Amino acid sequence: MSATSATTPEIKLQVQSLAKLYGQTIALDHVDLEVRKGELLTLLGPSGSGKTTLLQLICGLQEPSSGTVVIDGKDQTHAPVNKRDIGVVFQNYALFPHMTVVENVGFALKMRGLPKVEIDTKVAKALETVGLTHAAGRAPSQLSGGQQQRVALARCLVYDPAIILMDEPLGALDAKLREVMQIEIKRIHRETGATIIFVTHDQQEALALSDRICLMNNGKIAQLGTPRQMYEEPQNLFVADFIGVSSIIRGTVKDGALQTTLGLLPISGARPSNGTNGAIVVRPEAISLGEGFCEGRVRETVYGGSDMRVIIDAGEQEIIARATAATGDIEVGKTVRFGWAPDAVRFLIDKD
Protein backbone atom coordinates (compact mmCIF):
# COMPACT_ATOMS: atom_id res chain seq x y z
CA MET A 1 0.00 0.00 0.00
CA SER A 2 1.36 3.41 -0.93
CA ALA A 3 1.84 6.20 1.59
CA THR A 4 -0.80 8.23 -0.19
CA SER A 5 -3.50 5.55 -0.04
CA ALA A 6 -2.64 4.79 3.58
CA THR A 7 -3.45 8.36 4.63
CA THR A 8 -6.44 8.98 2.35
CA PRO A 9 -9.70 8.82 4.37
CA GLU A 10 -12.13 6.14 3.30
CA ILE A 11 -15.24 7.57 1.66
CA LYS A 12 -18.37 6.25 3.36
CA LEU A 13 -20.95 8.20 1.37
CA GLN A 14 -20.77 9.88 -2.00
CA VAL A 15 -23.55 11.83 -3.66
CA GLN A 16 -22.98 12.86 -7.26
CA SER A 17 -24.92 15.60 -9.04
CA LEU A 18 -27.92 14.89 -6.79
CA ALA A 19 -31.00 16.95 -7.64
CA LYS A 20 -34.62 17.13 -6.54
CA LEU A 21 -37.30 19.10 -8.36
CA TYR A 22 -40.94 19.68 -7.38
CA GLY A 23 -42.42 20.84 -10.65
CA GLN A 24 -40.43 23.95 -11.54
CA THR A 25 -39.14 24.39 -7.97
CA ILE A 26 -35.55 23.28 -7.39
CA ALA A 27 -35.19 21.90 -3.84
CA LEU A 28 -31.71 20.47 -4.44
CA ASP A 29 -29.51 21.65 -7.29
CA HIS A 30 -27.04 18.98 -8.50
CA VAL A 31 -25.07 18.60 -5.28
CA ASP A 32 -21.75 16.74 -5.02
CA LEU A 33 -20.64 15.65 -1.56
CA GLU A 34 -18.35 13.07 0.04
CA VAL A 35 -18.62 11.98 3.67
CA ARG A 36 -15.59 10.31 5.20
CA LYS A 37 -15.75 7.20 7.34
CA GLY A 38 -15.95 8.04 11.04
CA GLU A 39 -16.58 11.77 10.66
CA LEU A 40 -19.41 13.89 11.99
CA LEU A 41 -20.55 16.10 9.16
CA THR A 42 -23.23 18.70 9.76
CA LEU A 43 -25.68 19.85 7.12
CA LEU A 44 -26.36 23.45 8.09
CA GLY A 45 -28.51 26.13 6.54
CA PRO A 46 -31.66 28.23 6.82
CA SER A 47 -35.13 26.85 6.20
CA GLY A 48 -35.56 25.94 2.54
CA SER A 49 -31.82 25.65 1.89
CA GLY A 50 -32.04 21.97 0.86
CA LYS A 51 -30.44 20.27 3.86
CA THR A 52 -33.48 18.18 4.84
CA THR A 53 -34.13 17.27 1.20
CA LEU A 54 -30.54 16.04 0.90
CA LEU A 55 -30.94 13.98 4.08
CA GLN A 56 -34.16 12.39 2.81
CA LEU A 57 -32.53 11.49 -0.51
CA ILE A 58 -29.59 9.91 1.30
CA CYS A 59 -31.77 7.68 3.47
CA GLY A 60 -34.27 6.84 0.73
CA LEU A 61 -37.34 8.66 1.97
CA GLN A 62 -37.51 10.44 -1.39
CA GLU A 63 -36.48 9.60 -4.95
CA PRO A 64 -34.03 12.00 -6.62
CA SER A 65 -34.87 13.70 -9.89
CA SER A 66 -31.32 12.92 -11.01
CA GLY A 67 -27.92 11.96 -9.60
CA THR A 68 -26.63 9.05 -7.52
CA VAL A 69 -26.19 8.02 -3.89
CA VAL A 70 -23.27 5.65 -3.23
CA ILE A 71 -22.77 4.04 0.22
CA ASP A 72 -19.67 1.93 0.89
CA GLY A 73 -18.97 1.84 -2.85
CA LYS A 74 -22.45 0.53 -3.78
CA ASP A 75 -25.02 2.49 -5.74
CA GLN A 76 -28.00 2.86 -3.39
CA THR A 77 -29.85 5.56 -5.34
CA HIS A 78 -33.04 3.55 -5.74
CA ALA A 79 -32.63 1.10 -2.86
CA PRO A 80 -35.50 1.08 -0.31
CA VAL A 81 -34.96 2.59 3.12
CA ASN A 82 -34.62 -0.77 4.88
CA LYS A 83 -31.84 -1.88 2.51
CA ARG A 84 -29.50 1.09 2.95
CA ASP A 85 -27.97 0.21 6.34
CA ILE A 86 -28.76 3.68 7.67
CA GLY A 87 -29.97 4.62 11.14
CA VAL A 88 -32.07 7.75 11.65
CA VAL A 89 -32.58 9.80 14.81
CA PHE A 90 -35.50 12.22 14.53
CA GLN A 91 -36.38 15.28 16.60
CA ASN A 92 -39.53 13.62 17.98
CA TYR A 93 -37.66 10.46 19.18
CA ALA A 94 -40.38 8.10 17.80
CA LEU A 95 -40.13 5.68 20.75
CA PHE A 96 -42.76 2.98 21.30
CA PRO A 97 -44.64 4.14 24.43
CA HIS A 98 -45.76 0.61 25.41
CA MET A 99 -42.19 -0.77 25.38
CA THR A 100 -39.43 -0.41 27.96
CA VAL A 101 -36.09 1.18 27.11
CA VAL A 102 -34.56 -2.26 26.56
CA GLU A 103 -37.41 -3.31 24.28
CA ASN A 104 -37.22 -0.08 22.28
CA VAL A 105 -33.48 -0.41 21.73
CA GLY A 106 -33.66 -4.10 20.87
CA PHE A 107 -36.68 -3.89 18.58
CA ALA A 108 -34.72 -3.56 15.32
CA LEU A 109 -32.53 -6.54 16.24
CA LYS A 110 -35.59 -8.61 17.10
CA MET A 111 -37.11 -7.78 13.69
CA ARG A 112 -33.85 -8.98 12.10
CA GLY A 113 -34.26 -12.35 13.82
CA LEU A 114 -31.09 -12.24 15.95
CA PRO A 115 -30.82 -14.72 18.85
CA LYS A 116 -31.97 -13.35 22.23
CA VAL A 117 -28.51 -13.74 23.80
CA GLU A 118 -26.96 -11.63 21.04
CA ILE A 119 -29.72 -9.04 21.31
CA ASP A 120 -29.23 -8.75 25.07
CA THR A 121 -25.48 -8.29 24.66
CA LYS A 122 -25.79 -5.62 21.97
CA VAL A 123 -28.54 -3.73 23.81
CA ALA A 124 -26.54 -3.72 27.06
CA LYS A 125 -23.52 -2.31 25.23
CA ALA A 126 -25.59 0.38 23.49
CA LEU A 127 -27.22 1.48 26.75
CA GLU A 128 -23.83 1.61 28.44
CA THR A 129 -22.52 3.80 25.61
CA VAL A 130 -25.31 6.36 26.06
CA GLY A 131 -25.22 6.14 29.86
CA LEU A 132 -28.69 4.63 30.38
CA THR A 133 -27.99 1.21 31.85
CA HIS A 134 -29.82 2.27 35.03
CA ALA A 135 -32.98 3.11 33.05
CA ALA A 136 -33.23 -0.15 31.10
CA GLY A 137 -36.59 -1.19 32.56
CA ARG A 138 -38.31 2.19 32.37
CA ALA A 139 -41.01 3.28 29.93
CA PRO A 140 -40.36 6.34 27.71
CA SER A 141 -42.91 8.35 29.74
CA GLN A 142 -40.65 7.92 32.80
CA LEU A 143 -37.67 9.54 31.05
CA SER A 144 -36.63 13.15 30.56
CA GLY A 145 -36.35 14.62 27.07
CA GLY A 146 -32.59 14.17 27.09
CA GLN A 147 -32.90 10.54 28.20
CA GLN A 148 -35.44 9.82 25.47
CA GLN A 149 -33.03 11.28 22.92
CA ARG A 150 -30.30 8.97 24.22
CA VAL A 151 -32.63 5.99 23.81
CA ALA A 152 -33.27 7.02 20.20
CA LEU A 153 -29.51 7.22 19.64
CA ALA A 154 -28.91 3.85 21.31
CA ARG A 155 -31.54 2.33 19.02
CA CYS A 156 -29.36 3.39 16.07
CA LEU A 157 -26.04 2.37 17.61
CA VAL A 158 -27.25 -1.09 18.56
CA TYR A 159 -27.14 -2.52 15.02
CA ASP A 160 -24.02 -0.61 13.92
CA PRO A 161 -25.38 1.01 10.74
CA ALA A 162 -23.02 2.29 8.05
CA ILE A 163 -24.28 5.84 8.60
CA ILE A 164 -26.33 7.54 11.31
CA LEU A 165 -28.50 10.44 10.15
CA MET A 166 -29.64 12.88 12.85
CA ASP A 167 -32.40 15.26 11.73
CA GLU A 168 -32.42 18.23 14.15
CA PRO A 169 -32.42 15.78 17.09
CA LEU A 170 -31.91 18.44 19.78
CA GLY A 171 -34.52 20.91 18.53
CA ALA A 172 -37.11 20.02 21.19
CA LEU A 173 -34.71 20.39 24.14
CA ASP A 174 -34.13 23.49 26.25
CA ALA A 175 -30.87 25.45 25.84
CA LYS A 176 -29.02 23.93 28.81
CA LEU A 177 -30.00 20.36 27.93
CA ARG A 178 -28.98 20.97 24.31
CA GLU A 179 -25.46 21.84 25.48
CA VAL A 180 -25.32 18.68 27.61
CA MET A 181 -26.49 16.53 24.70
CA GLN A 182 -24.00 18.16 22.33
CA ILE A 183 -21.19 17.05 24.63
CA GLU A 184 -22.71 13.57 24.86
CA ILE A 185 -22.98 13.24 21.08
CA LYS A 186 -19.33 14.31 20.70
CA ARG A 187 -18.29 11.71 23.29
CA ILE A 188 -20.35 8.93 21.70
CA HIS A 189 -19.05 9.80 18.25
CA ARG A 190 -15.45 9.75 19.49
CA GLU A 191 -15.85 6.45 21.35
CA THR A 192 -17.79 4.57 18.66
CA GLY A 193 -16.17 5.98 15.51
CA ALA A 194 -19.64 6.12 13.91
CA THR A 195 -20.18 8.05 10.69
CA ILE A 196 -22.79 10.70 11.51
CA ILE A 197 -24.59 13.23 9.33
CA PHE A 198 -26.20 15.81 11.58
CA VAL A 199 -28.82 18.27 10.33
CA THR A 200 -29.40 21.60 12.09
CA HIS A 201 -30.24 25.24 11.42
CA ASP A 202 -28.33 26.28 14.57
CA GLN A 203 -24.87 27.51 13.56
CA GLN A 204 -23.51 27.46 17.12
CA GLU A 205 -24.52 23.79 17.38
CA ALA A 206 -22.76 23.07 14.08
CA LEU A 207 -19.57 24.81 15.24
CA ALA A 208 -19.61 22.87 18.53
CA LEU A 209 -20.22 19.39 17.11
CA SER A 210 -18.76 19.04 13.65
CA ASP A 211 -15.62 17.65 12.11
CA ARG A 212 -16.80 19.43 8.95
CA ILE A 213 -19.76 21.66 8.12
CA CYS A 214 -21.66 21.63 4.83
CA LEU A 215 -23.43 24.99 4.68
CA MET A 216 -26.29 25.02 2.20
CA ASN A 217 -28.21 27.84 0.54
CA ASN A 218 -30.82 27.78 -2.24
CA GLY A 219 -30.34 24.05 -2.84
CA LYS A 220 -26.57 24.31 -3.27
CA ILE A 221 -23.47 23.95 -1.10
CA ALA A 222 -22.32 27.45 -0.13
CA GLN A 223 -19.13 26.16 1.54
CA LEU A 224 -17.74 22.91 2.95
CA GLY A 225 -15.01 22.93 5.58
CA THR A 226 -14.00 22.58 9.22
CA PRO A 227 -15.68 24.83 11.79
CA ARG A 228 -12.51 26.94 11.99
CA GLN A 229 -12.36 27.33 8.20
CA MET A 230 -16.02 28.33 8.05
CA TYR A 231 -15.59 30.95 10.77
CA GLU A 232 -12.17 32.35 9.90
CA GLU A 233 -12.12 31.86 6.12
CA PRO A 234 -15.65 32.36 4.73
CA GLN A 235 -15.61 32.14 0.94
CA ASN A 236 -18.57 34.45 0.34
CA LEU A 237 -20.76 36.96 2.18
CA PHE A 238 -23.57 34.47 2.81
CA VAL A 239 -21.18 32.23 4.76
CA ALA A 240 -19.67 35.19 6.62
CA ASP A 241 -23.12 36.41 7.63
CA PHE A 242 -24.57 32.99 8.56
CA ILE A 243 -21.65 31.58 10.54
CA GLY A 244 -20.99 33.49 13.75
CA VAL A 245 -21.56 37.20 14.28
CA SER A 246 -20.08 39.69 11.81
CA SER A 247 -20.15 43.34 10.91
CA ILE A 248 -20.33 43.39 7.12
CA ILE A 249 -19.23 46.74 5.72
CA ARG A 250 -20.01 47.10 2.03
CA GLY A 251 -18.40 49.53 -0.36
CA THR A 252 -16.51 50.05 -3.60
CA VAL A 253 -12.79 49.55 -4.13
CA LYS A 254 -10.82 52.74 -4.68
CA ASP A 255 -7.02 52.81 -4.95
CA GLY A 256 -6.47 49.65 -2.91
CA ALA A 257 -8.96 50.53 -0.16
CA LEU A 258 -12.72 50.23 0.28
CA GLN A 259 -14.84 53.37 0.04
CA THR A 260 -17.66 52.98 2.59
CA THR A 261 -20.05 55.04 4.68
CA LEU A 262 -17.37 54.87 7.40
CA GLY A 263 -14.80 56.38 5.07
CA LEU A 264 -11.91 54.80 3.18
CA LEU A 265 -11.02 51.51 4.91
CA PRO A 266 -7.82 49.50 4.32
CA ILE A 267 -7.95 46.13 2.55
CA SER A 268 -5.41 43.43 3.33
CA GLY A 269 -4.30 40.79 0.83
CA ALA A 270 -5.10 40.98 -2.88
CA ARG A 271 -5.93 44.40 -4.32
CA PRO A 272 -9.00 44.19 -6.58
CA SER A 273 -9.45 46.71 -9.36
CA ASN A 274 -11.12 50.09 -8.84
CA GLY A 275 -14.91 49.99 -9.00
CA THR A 276 -15.20 46.45 -7.62
CA ASN A 277 -18.07 46.06 -5.16
CA GLY A 278 -17.00 44.24 -2.02
CA ALA A 279 -17.27 44.06 1.75
CA ILE A 280 -15.02 43.90 4.77
CA VAL A 281 -16.09 41.21 7.26
CA VAL A 282 -15.20 42.14 10.85
CA ARG A 283 -15.71 39.68 13.70
CA PRO A 284 -16.58 41.23 17.12
CA GLU A 285 -13.35 40.04 18.73
CA ALA A 286 -11.26 41.86 16.08
CA ILE A 287 -12.64 45.28 17.05
CA SER A 288 -10.74 47.49 19.48
CA LEU A 289 -12.89 49.92 21.47
CA GLY A 290 -11.73 53.30 22.73
CA GLU A 291 -9.35 54.05 19.89
CA GLY A 292 -9.24 53.64 16.13
CA PHE A 293 -10.16 55.25 12.84
CA CYS A 294 -13.97 55.12 13.17
CA GLU A 295 -16.54 56.62 15.49
CA GLY A 296 -20.09 55.77 16.45
CA ARG A 297 -22.76 55.88 19.12
CA VAL A 298 -23.42 52.95 21.45
CA ARG A 299 -27.00 51.84 20.74
CA GLU A 300 -27.12 48.83 23.07
CA THR A 301 -24.99 46.64 25.31
CA VAL A 302 -25.81 42.98 25.97
CA TYR A 303 -24.30 41.39 29.06
CA GLY A 304 -23.16 37.80 28.47
CA GLY A 305 -21.36 36.84 31.67
CA SER A 306 -17.70 36.68 30.70
CA ASP A 307 -18.11 39.25 27.94
CA MET A 308 -20.41 41.94 26.67
CA ARG A 309 -21.72 42.59 23.17
CA VAL A 310 -21.62 46.24 22.17
CA ILE A 311 -23.84 47.40 19.29
CA ILE A 312 -22.69 50.63 17.69
CA ASP A 313 -24.50 52.87 15.25
CA ALA A 314 -21.93 54.40 12.92
CA GLY A 315 -24.08 56.42 10.55
CA GLU A 316 -25.77 53.94 8.22
CA GLN A 317 -23.57 51.06 9.45
CA GLU A 318 -24.18 48.79 12.43
CA ILE A 319 -21.03 47.53 14.15
CA ILE A 320 -21.00 44.66 16.66
CA ALA A 321 -18.02 44.58 19.03
CA ARG A 322 -17.10 42.43 21.99
CA ALA A 323 -15.69 43.68 25.28
CA THR A 324 -14.87 41.96 28.54
CA ALA A 325 -17.60 42.25 31.13
CA ALA A 326 -15.18 44.19 33.35
CA THR A 327 -14.72 46.93 30.73
CA GLY A 328 -16.01 50.25 32.03
CA ASP A 329 -17.26 53.46 30.40
CA ILE A 330 -19.38 51.75 27.74
CA GLU A 331 -22.74 53.43 28.15
CA VAL A 332 -25.74 53.45 25.85
CA GLY A 333 -25.83 56.77 23.97
CA LYS A 334 -22.13 57.44 24.44
CA THR A 335 -19.83 58.13 21.47
CA VAL A 336 -16.92 55.69 21.12
CA ARG A 337 -14.01 55.31 18.77
CA PHE A 338 -13.21 51.88 17.34
CA GLY A 339 -11.01 50.18 14.80
CA TRP A 340 -9.23 46.97 13.84
CA ALA A 341 -5.98 45.69 12.40
CA PRO A 342 -6.30 45.32 8.59
CA ASP A 343 -5.00 41.74 8.68
CA ALA A 344 -7.60 40.78 11.34
CA VAL A 345 -10.52 41.19 8.92
CA ARG A 346 -11.50 39.58 5.62
CA PHE A 347 -12.33 41.25 2.31
CA LEU A 348 -14.84 39.52 0.04
CA ILE A 349 -16.11 40.53 -3.37
CA ASP A 350 -19.86 41.23 -3.27
CA LYS A 351 -21.49 38.96 -5.85
CA ASP A 352 -25.08 39.70 -4.81
Say which residues have a Cβ less than 8 Å from residue 154's Cβ, sequence separation at least 6.
105, 123, 126, 127, 129, 130, 132
Read off the pLDDT of each residue in 264-289 and give the average, rounded to a whole number.
90
Structural contact between residues 157 and 151, judged by C-beta atoms closer than 8 angstroms: no
- pTM, 2 dp: 0.89
**For residue 198, which amino acid is it?**
F
- In Å, what is the CA distance from 47 to each residue of 43, 56, 93, 241, 332? 12, 15, 21, 15, 34
Terminal-to-terminal C-alpha distance of the chain: 47
| Predicted confidence (pLDDT) per residue in 137-155, tens digit | 999 999 988 889 889 889 9
Residue 37 three-state SS: coil
CB 34 within 8 A of CB 13: yes
* Residue 4: per-residue pLDDT: 44
* DSSP string over 326-343: T-----TT-EEEEE--GG
Q: What fold, for 245-349?
A: OB fold (Dihydrolipoamide Acetyltransferase, E2P) (2.40.50)
Tell me what the pLDDT averaged over the chain comes to.
Answer: 90
d(CA 35, CA 15): 9
As a whole number of angstroms, the longest Cα–Cα distance in the chain is 76
Task: Provide the CATH topology of domain 9-237.
Answer: Rossmann fold (3.40.50)
Cβ neighbours of 36 (radius 10 Å): 16
Burial of 29 (0-12, 13-18, 19+ CB in 10 A): middle
Structure confidence by residue, pLDDT tens digits, 85-116: 898 888 777 889 999 999 999 998 998 889 99
**Domain map (residue ranges) of the chain:** 9-237, 245-349
Give the residue-averaged pLDDT of 216-224: 96
Is residue 337 within 8 Å of 295, Cβ to Cβ?
yes
Mean pLDDT on 238-255? 94
The one-letter code for the residue type at 127 is L
Q: What are the DSSP calls for 288-330, one per residue?
A: EEEEEEEEEEEEEEEE-SSEEEEEEEETTEEEEEEEETT----
